[in-house]
Amino acid sequence: SFIPPALRRAEGQKRSRQSDFGVRIPRPLGNGPSRFIPEKEILQVSKVDPRTQSIFEDAFAALGRLDNISLVMGFHPQYLESFLRTQHYLLQMDGPLSLHYRHYIGIMAAARHQCSYLVNLHVNDFLQVGGDSKWLNGLDGAPQKLQALGELNKILAHRPWLLTKAHIEHLLKAEEHSWSLAELIHAVVLLTHYHSLASFTFGCGITPEIHSDGGHTFRPPSLSQYCVCDIANGNGHGHLEERRGNHQVSEVSGEVEVLMERMKQLQECRDEEEASQEEMATRFEREKTESMLVATAEDEECVPSRDVSRHFEDPSYGYKDFSRRGEHVPTFRVQDYSWEDHGYSLVNRLYPDVGQLLDEKFQMAYNLTYNTMAMHKDVDTTMLRRAIWNYIHCMFGIRYDDYDYGEINQLLDRSFKVYIKTMVCSPEKTTKRMYESFWRQFQHSEKVHVNLLLMEARMQAELLYALRAITRYMT
Amino acid sequence: MEKMSRVTTALGSSAISGRTMFCHLDAPANAISVCRDATQVVVAGRNIFKIYGLEEEQFVEKLNLRVGRKPSLNFSCADVMWHQMEENLLATAATNGAVVTWNLGKPSRNKQDQLFTEHKRTVNKVCFHPTEVYMLLSGSQDGYMKCFDLRKKESVSTFSGQSESVRDVQFSMKDYFTFAASFENGNVQLWDIRRPDRYERMFTAHTGPVFCCDWHPDDRGWLATGGRDKMVKVWDMTTNRAKEIYCVQTIASVARVKWRPERKWHLATCSMMVDHNIYVWDIRRPFIPFATFEEHKDVTTGIVWRHQHDPYFLLSGSKDSTLYQHMFKDASRPVDRANPEGLCFGLFGDLAFAAKESLISGDANRKPYPGGDRRYPIFFFKKPDLTEQFAHVSSALSVFESSLESKRMDWFVKTARLYLLSGKSFAELCDHNAKVAKELNRPQVSTTWTMLRIMFSDPANLSTPGPNHIGKLGTLPLMNSFSMKEMGMGTESRLDRSKGESRQDNIHLELGNSLINNICPTAENEETEGSEGQAEYMFGDAELDDDDLYSMEHDNQAAEEQEYTLPQEAFPLRHEIMDNPLAPEHLQQDKADSPQASGNEAEVMCLTPIESFSLISISQPLFSPHLPAPFFCPVVREMLSHYAEQGDVQMAVSVLIVLGDRIRKEIDDLTQEHWYMSYIDLLQRFELWNVSNEVIKLSTCSAITCLNQTSTTLHVNCSNCKRPMSNRGWICDRCHQCASVCAVCHHVVKGLFVWCQGCSHGGHLEHVKNWLKSSSHCPAGCGHLCEYT
């Protein structure tokens, strides 16, 4: 992980001194911040881009650490800045919820996806701001008020369309354990933030911090690498997949060119051939249903490690529950309840400034582009980004009237859809193989970019459902 | 269709009439529009597209334009507009990006006329040209505006705003070629319809999206805009730069804005979220809506004035699936419920108070303040019609000039500066403060402090500090024998005294000094009454000491009012025992001719004394000689409230702090907080920052102590590049240097940083401390002689 030179020197000295006294020395496990991306490439970023470097410095100065998530996001400094500002505001600045509540809600949300990385990070923070360690034994140990939030957490994470105003009412009218509207908004923003951040964490294969569980080992480096986190993630077969991945690369050259060609075609023939309205509607429904059926990689049950699962109840409740049954997801028309018009106003009214921060972050993620695709320059990627964004919203049943969902099928191939689907719906099952098998010729920075899109689109989708329920409660 | 046109002609251009009424729609409405002759209204939404006739008593459904078993998305309307020239022509903006025109004159069930699918994203707005029949303008989410000639199949021109999505487009009423467009990024652009290459003018109107805009129907230069930032702004576009001339702050994001016909200053607004009401504002009175319509139960999505020359009918559609016709006379008028009263202090303590004239003149007891009372009647008449006036408030303004004496707040400032609130023993604090009060000629306050000390000091403490009589006496039992009766008397007399003396000038000081002397004769006189031996002894001493003062006092007395010369009563004996060097003046009272004179005036905080007892009580205390401090709490509590009510919150707070735990529990937190806040506010007005800070620090209310944690930011400049450091205190954004390096160990200081204000070098607290123990020079080697204190 990233350590300023001065500190590194000091640490080195400390280590060597300690070893003289027979103290056990922790060694970093894994290589760099991400299991998917070579360490070299990540560290390169901050050296080349002065802006990234300065953001890193700021982040380090603010928290006294620079987590692996920020390091990986460092590929996209503009976004990172907005992300950190928002996260800092949500966790540290004035807000309706007390500090330890905020971190605990973060833990609850991350645990929902068995993201031990985020859980560990926030367990530390939680204790540091004076949180009661008894709460960490499980949701039962937490105040009733937080327990009541469990249900919302569960629904939001896996099936947000089921959220109704009854859920909101239940939280707001619970006598002495009730939430205020402002607190609830804060909690909702935190929950959605950490659900989607969990997606990002798995999607980019973020490795544990050196100081947290699974981030270090006391064994000499030669022995087999044991990682608590891997067990939790159900993807401990890294080496095998890596070899398989390499093998396939040669077959797929030209993938990028095909994609670009398709984009061009879509752009051109768009005006000529007009699909009928019924056809458009069908396309959306088809995409929606199909997205349910996209198999999320290995379907084997993975048992969440006890360590993490204690932070939430009902571990079996997940996305796939209904996808197998072919349950119908109702359609949410974004034109009737959009973030820009409605969500923003509600959030900003109850939790001032956060609406603005989120708005900037969403826009940043949605509009971010370098006009490149793999090795090609000056490409307008608007279409592709919109397809990804709308595909994710489509999985949540959110429909844009003005979008032709046929485009998705043209632009997103199956392996990419599998990756998106897994990452958004059950991120804990993301594997290195999936990461490698989509868009094989693209740069790592571009894949991180995709991850940012996925993360923000997911967050907005969840937020829209939650805020709509709150609005309905209020009217 | 024929039937419809018949209806249209029947009502024709005759004056419209109606009442407040509504009808249920089958689905939420997104927009509404009326036809030119105000007889029909079209309602459009995702799942509704209908025309209703406006009849006298009700809405009548005339036509359902949404035909087909499975209507396509072209019917899902974001906006609708009825042509103002051609009564059969309508246009809708569909959420899927289509612009559709409808011809009501078509014989078939499906009235769809033209379909333009040129926009790539949702179309937010369509607008017909006010005078040109075939010209239609659309604004879309994709950032383009398109102008259509309805005789052609395609758009004639495309305008690229190049600043995100278009939320509204409006043709100017007066300027044939001009239209305005508002954007999601806060900009408003002005275009000439003939020049699609470039906008004529652009300015930023709001932070965040501008949801709507509307040209003033009469005044060519005025454009009203409403945005997500909850503002309605009126711009004067006639000048070179768009000038904001009016601004109304509403409580929620503004979804629609419509000028009211025939009323130059009025406009109607409705909001996008949370707030369901429709407001009509007089832009010159931006703080309170002129009228409010509160019928809708969900957000209002469309508003339109029924007729372009009739200001009394407003139509509205809402997400709650209703369509309303509001009569202006039925609107609620918030101003009727408002209190048009204002109060303000002037620089020199003058007080101005404005209130409804009716309220003030109705008050028979009102006496005009000499020289200070002027009236400024304010009228807002436009027309004799009562409903169209902004509640004609005629206010009377009274100015109260503060009198010379009350203006002078020197005593407050001095008291605040001189009072000690902590840092010494309780008794010493009381003594000190009593002395301060006495010196400032505030005998009552001074006495109160003394009394407090007596009441709450525990005997052991008392004896030690007393440099006074007590010391001499060394008799603790005496203090404790201080009985309730006497307390009462003492207080009364003090009150009494203060009344008498407030008019006098310096006498008090002298009196204060001579108190002891007064006491002495009293004691002597009373011996016969059977005072205790010890007391007697003490007085003897005192007398000797202060003999000269005594005589002086007598001189003064002669000049004073009668009270002072009265023979004394027995009871005061105990008071001297209170060991007070600055003994309270009430002792002088001893000389009052009758005990009754003083006793009768007992008011506020003391127990009513019974005069006849007073003599007895001295010799034989009715109560146990050891009164516990809590015994006095109720009295003290009342006293504090009294002071606070009288406006001397300074005393209340000071006593509260000095007494601390002794009294705190007796007074509820809210009251305490209130006192503290008032006092701190006063202190800050007098710029007594140090005192106010001390009070904040010493207070025990959490709400008060936290005041000290606000605005505690310290701004520093980078030691390297000398520019302000915005983010962290120890790393500079600009030059990326660790700015706050310890001069001793050369590491970054993250915690406590101490620095010399002379040479601005510094470092870790401990390091600098140690360094300066051994060296007097700055550790940085700058040669400055630093000092650590």
If we measure between CA atoms, which residue out of A8, A26, A211, A186 comes closest to residue A125? A211
Determine whether A394 is an active site residue. Answer: no
* Chain B contacts in chain A segment 20-59 (CB below 8 A): 53-54, 57-58
Chain A closest CA to B724's CA: distance in Å? 15
A276 contact B CB<8A: yes
**Candidate from A26-30, A181-185, B178-182 with smallest mean pLDDT:** A26-30
Contact list, A274 vs chain B (CB under 8 Å): 117
Chain B closest CA to A93's CA: distance in Å? 13
**Nearest beta carbon to residue A345 from set B70, B272, B730:** B272
The span from the CA of B673 to the CA of B160, in Å, is 59
**Candidate from A264-278, B100-114, B194-208, B380-394 with smallest mean pLDDT:** B380-394
Q: Which residues pair with B577 in a beta bridge?
A: none
pLDDT value at residue A312? 56
The span from the CA of B365 to the CA of B632, in Å, is 40
B299 contact A CB<8A: yes
pLDDT value at residue B335? 81
What average pLDDT does this structure show over B276-283?
92
Q: What is the DSSP letter of A260?
A: H
Nearest-CA residue of chain B relative to A356?
B208
Q: Which residue would you say has higher pLDDT here, A360 or B402?
A: A360
Q: What is the pTM of this model?
A: 0.63
The span from the CA of A262 to the CA of B780, in Å, is 67
Cβ-defined contact of A54 to B72 (cutoff 8 Å): no
The span from the CA of A208 to the CA of A124, in Å, is 13
Band of pLDDT at residue B226, cut at 50, 70 and 90? very high
* Chain A contacts in chain B segment 154-213 (CB below 8 A): 184, 208-209, 211
Residues B420-439: tens digit of each pLDDT: 888 888 888 888 989 888 88
The span from the CA of B167 to the CA of B203, in Å, is 15
pLDDT value at residue B455? 82
Nearest-CA residue of chain A relative to B230?
A345
Chain A closest CA to B70's CA: distance in Å? 8
How big is the CA angle at B634 (ends B631 and B638), to the nearest 5 degrees?
Answer: 145
* Chain A contacts in chain B segment 720-739 (CB below 8 A): 727-728, 730-731, 733, 736
**Candidate from A374-378, A408-412, B191-195, B748-752 with smallest mean pLDDT:** B748-752
- Burial zone of A410 (CB within 10 Å; 0-12 exposed, 13-18 middle, 19+ buried): middle
**Candidate from A421-425, B102-106, B285-289, B294-298 with smallest mean pLDDT:** A421-425
Band of pLDDT at residue A307, cut at 50, 70 and 90? low
pLDDT value at residue B152? 87
B256 contact A CB<8A: no
Chain B closest CA to A335's CA: distance in Å? 7
The span from the CA of B94 to the CA of B76, in Å, is 5
Say if residues A355 and A186 touch (Cβ distance below 8 Å): no
* Model confidence at B127: pLDDT above 70: yes
Q: Which two tokens stand for residue A335?
A: 């034109």
B228 contact A CB<8A: yes
Residues A329-372: tens digit of each pLDDT: 778 888 888 898 889 989 988 888 899 999 999 999 998 888 88
Average pLDDT over chain A reads: 75
Start-to-end CA span in chain B (Å) = 96
If we measure between CA atoms, which residue out of B205, B209, B192 comes closest to residue B243? B205
Residues A42-70: tens digit of each pLDDT: 777 667 677 788 888 888 877 777 888 88
Band of pLDDT at residue B561, cut at 50, 70 and 90? very low
Cβ-defined contact of B727 to A475 (cutoff 8 Å): no
Cβ-defined contact of A333 to B730 (cutoff 8 Å): no
Buried b (16+ CB within 10 A) or exposed e, A352-389: eebbbbbbebbbbbbebeeeebbeeeebebebbbbbbb
What average pLDDT does this structure show over B304-331?
90
What average pLDDT does this structure show over B708-712?
69
Contact list, B121 vs chain A (CB under 8 Å): 402
Cβ-defined contact of A341 to B272 (cutoff 8 Å): yes
Say if residues A45 and A13 touch (Cβ distance below 8 Å): no
* Model confidence at B775: pLDDT above 70: yes
Q: Which two tokens stand for residue B639?
A: 């006293």
Contact list, B119 vs chain A (CB under 8 Å): 402
Q: What is the DSSP letter of A179?
A: P
A280 contact B CB<8A: yes
Say if residues A354 and A189 touch (Cβ distance below 8 Å): yes
Say if residues B99 and B137 touch (Cβ distance below 8 Å): no
* Model confidence at B517: pLDDT above 50: no
Average pLDDT over chain B reads: 74
Cβ-defined contact of B117 to A274 (cutoff 8 Å): yes
The span from the CA of A457 to the CA of A463, in Å, is 10
The pairing of beta strand B351-356 with beta strand B254-259:
unpaired
Say if residues B542 and B488 touch (Cβ distance below 8 Å): no
**Nearest beta carbon to residue B731 from set A57, A342, A475:** A57
Cβ-defined contact of B252 to A274 (cutoff 8 Å): no
Residues A59-111: tens digit of each pLDDT: 887 777 788 888 888 888 889 999 999 999 998 888 888 888 999 999 888 88
A61 contact B CB<8A: yes
pLDDT value at residue B745? 84
**Candidate from A86-90, B279-283, B479-483, B743-747 with smallest mean pLDDT:** B479-483
Chain A closest CA to B337's CA: distance in Å? 25
DSSP three-state, residue B582: coil
Q: From the candidates A115, A204, A229, A394, give the one annotated as an active-site residue.
A: A115
Q: What is the DSSP letter of B742?
A: -
pLDDT value at residue A278? 66
Residues 6+ apart with CB under 8 A from A190: A90, A97, A102, A105, A106, A109
How big is the CA angle at B151 (ends B146 and B152), to the nearest 5 degrees?
Answer: 55
Q: How many CB pairs under 8 A join A and B?
A: 84
* Model confidence at B179: pLDDT above 60: yes
Cβ-defined contact of B141 to A341 (cutoff 8 Å): no
* Model confidence at B586: pLDDT above 50: no
The span from the CA of A320 to the CA of B347, in Å, is 71
The span from the CA of B288 to the CA of B654, in Å, is 42
Band of pLDDT at residue B361, cut at 50, 70 and 90? low
**Nearest beta carbon to residue B733 from set A54, A335, A344:** A54
What average pLDDT does this structure show over B364-387?
47
pLDDT over 70, % of chain B: 68
Residues A442-458: tens digit of each pLDDT: 888 888 899 999 999 99
What average pLDDT does this structure show over B670-678?
87
Q: Which residues pair with B227 in a beta bridge?
A: B210
Chain B closest CA to A6's CA: distance in Å? 10
